[in-house]
Structure 1
Amino acid sequence: MRHGDKINNLGRKTAHRHALLMNLAIALIENKRIFTTLAKAKALRLYVEPLITKSKQDTTHSRRTAFSYLRSKEAVSTLFGDIATKVAERNGGYTRIIKTGNRQGDAAEMAMIELVDFNEIYTNGKKGSTTAKAKTTRRSRGAKKTAPAKGASADTSSVEEATEEN
């Protein structure tokens, strides 16, 4: 029985699975996007997201912990350098999994896993729109606006509306 066994063993023994996830994590950190099977991508997400969370605190202990998972100095320096600065304000959800169809040979479900903040297509569109919007709360729902100055600004707005109609 496998009651409460939540880990996906990926059809491998423990040492082989750890080596596989370590190599996938290094490839993801260095390339920012990799193509793999859907099961491996889901297992990799559980492996790499805690490492990215640890990289937000640049301490010796967190670097040594990340190195024990990755065993690559280059990957650890990239993780604590480029990636940690980009995800500093993000509270989680550092990776995105996109299904890409089935593999031709064995019809395995394939997927692309990528780091969310390193996709220029999505981030450019969001940065422009989020900086233009003012933050609203649920209570205000955007109804609370700055009151115009007494007299002059309220009168000028009605005059401007009248001129635009003509």
Structure 2
Amino acid sequence: MRHFLKFRKFNFDNNYKKSLFINLSNSLIKYEFLKTSLSKAKELRIFLEPLINISKNFSDFNFKFLIRKIKNINSIFKLFKIIAPRYFYRNGGYLKIYKYGFKKGDNSPLSFIIFS
């Protein structure tokens, strides 16, 4: 059975995978544009869209929850002040993934992930 298997493994350690998605989400929030592999972009969408949904209403609990998840105060303030009001009346689909091409070394698919 497929219990508790929400994310892909990527052949990484769990701590490394957690820090990878924290860093990817911080850079996506900071620049609002990210170029990465297609599978990482799909996983980043699963990781980040619930956090955007949580940041729509400001409360102490939501702020502390995002501190535990993202661990960057500047990114959290940008989520609450700029990004969440932009999508206040939307129920999902905050991120768009565009296929870009292939990597030169291993021919894996590249993609852009941006806020729609």
TM-score category (smaller protein): over 0.9
Larger Rg: 1
Q: Which residue of 1 aligns with 2:45?
A: 45
Matched, 1:73 2:73: yes
Listed as ranges, the gaps of 5+ residues in structure 2 are none
Q: Tell me the amino acid that sits aligned with residue 97 of structure 2.
A: I
- What is the 5 A alignment of 1:1-166? 3-4=1-2, 5-116=5-116
Amino acid of the structure 1 residue aligned with 2:18: H
Per the TM alignment, residue 6 of structure 1 is displaced from its structure 2 partner at its CA by 3.9
SS in 2 for 1:96: strand
Instruction: Write 1 or 2 for the structure with the bigger share of strand.
Output: 2
Does the residue aligned with 1:111 lie in a helix, a strand or coil? strand
Aligned length: 114
Instruction: Report the residue type matching 1:31 in the other structure.
Output: Y
1:106 deviates by 1.3
TM normalised by structure 2 equals: 0.95
Structure 1 length normalisation: TM-score? 0.67
Query: What whole-Å deviation, never above 9, does each CA across 1:1-43 have from its counterpart, x for those lacking one?
Result: xx41342011211000000000000011111110000010011
> Helix, strand or coil for the counterpart of 1:79?
helix
Give structure 1 stretches of 5+ with no counterpart. 117-166
Please report the RMSD computed on the Cα atoms of aligned residues, expressed in angstroms.
0.9
- Displacement of 1:108 after TM fit? 1.1
